[in-house]
Structure 1
Amino acid sequence: MKKILAFIVCVLLLVGLAFGARYYLLASTGNTRESSKTLNLYNWGDYIDPALLKRFTAETGYQVNYETFDSNEAMYTKIKQGGTHYDLAIPSEYMISKMKREHLLLKLDHHRLKGLENYDQRFLNQNFDLGNQYSLPYFWGTLGIIYNEDTVSAKEVQHWDQLWSPQFKQRIMLIDSARDVLGFTLITQGKSVNTRSAADLAAAQGKLSTLMPNVKAIIADEIKMYMAQGEADVAVTYSGEAAEAMSHNSHLRYTVPSEGSNVWFDNIVMPKTAKNKKAAYAFLNFMNEPKNAAQNAEYIGYATPNKKALALLPKSIRNDRQFYPDDKTIAHLQVYDDLGQKWTEKYNDAFLEFKMVNR
């Protein structure tokens, strides 16, 4: 009996070791699934209509493994480190420049793409990806000012400089972003949001420090919730965040200062470690279809670069100049460049010092 029990114990141990080894191997490959019938998509949180993913699976047979990140830097780090095989990812313009330079992206085969003619030409061939060799537009938007019209008049927030007015003491929330906050401060001084001048950056940091009495909080995604709940009268945030807050509070309005701001682009790219290119191209073509792009834009709240999709949106959306500004406004908007590690750190350090004062 003892021999039998010992034999059973040995068998169980071997099975356990085998299972553990198998589990380790699966875990060590990362979370992405490797299958000819699976698309591994790496995206921002809540940045696509879930119904579209279901429709894509129904139409193509490809299951979607959807993973999320909360910053361009987190996405970049995970892809650079390897061990994952995302077929598509959705970074912002400056990060696309960085990933191109470091050979982390695959060139797109335009012969396998459908619907490129659907895009508004203004959002193609940008400096961060000339000829759209590595990316396709997904959403675009602006940095601006959201305010409660019950307590703030439109004329009081038409320019960035007005945020420094004493009347806004402890009434402003800022998005937690070095490039954005230093960017609008640089604009008030007539400088580029991409300056690599130590003098310009020091001057901007100095001016920004004088904004502190007016700052109630510096926060990230929660800014839309707080504004919707009336926790502040004014906030600096992105157009899509503003749109969501406005959908919950009819007293909120959004404006882009006439002297200029940032226009950002989130584009779809194919990391060099992509395993299922066939599924990736199927998804790109699926999202290029006007009806799908329109549904996604209506769900997310950001502006679509697909002109045929725009035509399908309700008039109340496509004619809203808060989120689809006219050409005159767009002409004054600036796109962020990849500043490189040295200058990125300088911006981050300057912003960190500003935030430390806020504490």
Structure 2
Amino acid sequence: MKYDYLIVGAGPFGAIFAYEAMKCNKTCLVIDKRDHVGGNIYTEQVEGINVHKYGAHIFHTNDKEVWDYVNRFATFNRYTNSPVANFNGEMYNLPFNMNTFYRLWGVSDPTEAEKIIEKQRVQYDEPQNLEEQALSLVGRDIYEKLIKGYTEKQWGRACKDLPAFIIKRLPVRFTWDNNYFNDQYQGIPVGGYTPIIEKLLEGSEVRLNTDYFAQREYFDGIATKTVYTGMLDEFYGYQFGPLEYRTLHFESDILDQPNFQGNAVVNYTDQATPFTRIIEHKHFEFGTQPKTVVTREYSKEYQPGDEPYYPVNNQKNNASYLSYKELADKEEGVIFGGRLAEYKYYDMWQIVRNSLDTARKELNKL
């Protein structure tokens, strides 16, 4: 059988493309090297709790069409992302707001908080690294307690060795609002993300535990076009060198207690704590189960065989990516999409938008 589309990757980009193609009566074969669909938004049930297997995923957007689209496949709850930071046992609200400033300095007047930040800010003609950028934006107290340790653990590099553009801006609010996102729409799908992907893939043939590169010649011959969502450098045999990533390591525990930390996400911003954050999954869906599941998240350098998460968008990697992209742009039978194929970190709503736009552009041609 010859398929209209071979879709490499059963994550959200591939699943949405498959759904849109199926609506146009196109045949799709979706393959994924993992043993499940959903990519990094995969959720699995443990003790009746929907566990975010690859880290916390909170859906948020200002794009009404995107919000209406995902709500076709699930009911979203009213979860509001309000993470907390733990610095050597001191607890602070995120993003930086009046609750944070009251905890730091005992001030309840927004004007007083502004004055303290302004006094602590360091003036640079042009910040040369992340540390200088942060100090110029929020001053020393916030930088030392809430940015430095977390960022250095996340990237595995000193803030002085990280480019300034990583934090072009930092959210500072002089209100008592702990809502991390400003988007109009926000929530978690009741029942987890996996059922959404399963509904999107209905009607498509899906093969799991299937590595495209192990049978590339075969797969290239069984479809008119390929939608590729994997690593762009791997697609081209790393000919311009491997693109660098940070990856994550997770350690999860089932605890025989109803509540461990009282919040879905707690960031550990001191340098002594080896993990970056603890996720308590039941709080995403206001769970009342007798047990709880917690996950400690560690950031580390990507090695072959790991799951690539965050592109290291420095000058060297971006130059290599542009060389790969030049090849990709010349491909007539391959459509590239998603965070790995585009070497860019995306929020979930952006993946939905990009996949929808890509599918519509492609299908309107036919």
Relative to total residues, which structure has the larger helix share, 1 or 2? 1
Give yes or no for TM over 0.5: no
Range of TM-score over shorter length: under 0.3
Relative to total residues, which structure has the larger strand share, 1 or 2? 2
Which of the two has higher C-alpha Rg? 1
TM-score (norm 2): 0.27
TM-score (norm 1): 0.27
